[in-house]
Structure 1
Amino acid sequence: MASTFAALHHPDAGAPLLLPNAWDHASAAALAGQGFAAIGTTSLGVAAAAGLPDGSAATRDATLTLALALGQGPFLLSVDAEGGFSDDPAEVAGTARELAAVGAVGINLEDGRPDGTLAPAELHAAKIGAVKAAVPGLFVNARTDTHWLDDGDGDGDGRGFALGRETIRRLDAYQLAGADGVFVPGLSDPARIAGLVEAIDVPLNILYSPQGPPLPALAELGVRRVSLGSLLYRRALGAALETAALIRAGLPVEGSAPTYDEVQALVRPGGPDRPGATPSEGASW
């Protein structure tokens, strides 16, 4: 399964892996029903659903619980583990082992911190190395948040150039540590994307942005993986708010929604009461 997931990052036809991100069982099952062979989790969706802050290492248990529920599903699962929920590489490796044990084939590890700073590249590289030593087959997608800090104004003040050098420095360190792919969210400029593709030796993951290049353009630039991040979760939340507001205002509600029976059909046949099921299995497919 892990080798299959890795192979999706090297397609013969050049189309990148489009990775939608789920936040619960129903969203993952619905996406799988639409034919997505691989699905990621979104740390924001997991955190918000649990009433916890994102990116602050507060959702380790919630993330593991979700991975347990999804890891045996009919798709390949990659888990957003923030920064590994620890600054101790050994503890991060332990989390990776637990994720792999319940069926995850990939893990996303980020170097951004809640206060808007970046973890030292050497520390993040050590986490990556520890994970690859503990679970060699787990696909490690090493994320750097350098471009979240970019003002993106293109005013020629040198900021973009400096960020580009820092991005490449970090990605080089993460590749050397064993990362199978690298992720640069916030990067949407086609020229910078193309430059990164040329500068690295592993697949480049880009976060899809409605204001950025569309999927075909990203494919032409050499991007190998396009993540949707928290976009689906945020759009679902937005649709819920819009629907409630329309009903309150006495206006008609347009658009489609799954029926009650269609949502019920997303549950694994037999559910938690099927013969031989344990409580943990009952949370699974």
Structure 2
Amino acid sequence: MHGLRDLQQDFLTSVFNEEKNDLAQHLIGTESERAWRADIYRNNTFSNLRSTLESTYPVIVKLVGVEFFRHAAQEYISQYPSASGDLHLFGEAFGAFLATFPPVEQLPYLPDVARLEWLCHKAYFAADHTPLALDRLMQVPPVRYVDLQFKLNPACALFESAFPVDRIWQINQDHYTGEQSVDLSSGGATALVTRPMYRVTVSTMARSEWCALQALSTGLAFAAACDVALRIDPEFNLVAALHRWVNDTILVDFSLAT
């Protein structure tokens, strides 16, 4: 006898693997009718997941075209079936998938574009967070500033690539009207994803500032982050950057290293 768990597993196997149509045995009707009904579930599932990927990766769609994207999405869905009822969580591994997908091997920047788009997707749906409590920060004795550890806003993310992916993302936004060209040999990208006023933005950052913020995001204390930035740019003003990060709600909480 099949229990509910077995039935559900047969359903999933049938939906995502057409060669294993175990669901048909649980459906009524003739053999052809059962196969037809299973195909309805499969087609609807793949269609919904493809639509989810298209809405999550609009820049990739623009770069490769709708038909090619749907072919890639079909392969991705087969290899990475949805593991959650929340479609906002589906598609995280698309960048890793593209990195091993032979048809796009001539587009080496494409996986990083997907990684950036996933960070934008996460930022858009991230939980709200209150600004950093400046009254608490002002109570920290100056001698302890070196020990400050900061927390990034959940709606922020740091991104790095060997390609100018920030530029690729910018020129493929719906309302972009500037220069369309991208020089792939121009160097890599260090950027910050933010969500001011519920609109996701990708801001290019100088490497010194990016590395300082990256250091803080990993739990390094303020003094250690200063050292990281100053090794890259001896003129970098981390105090001014800290004020900007607080004002822009990039840093939203802090503690003191023990």
TM-score normalised to structure 2 length: 0.23
Does 1 or 2 have the higher relative contact order (CA < 8 Å, sep 6+)? 1
Q: Larger C-alpha radius of gyration, 1 or 2? A: 2
TM-score normalised to structure 1 length: 0.22
More helix by proportion, 1 or 2? 2
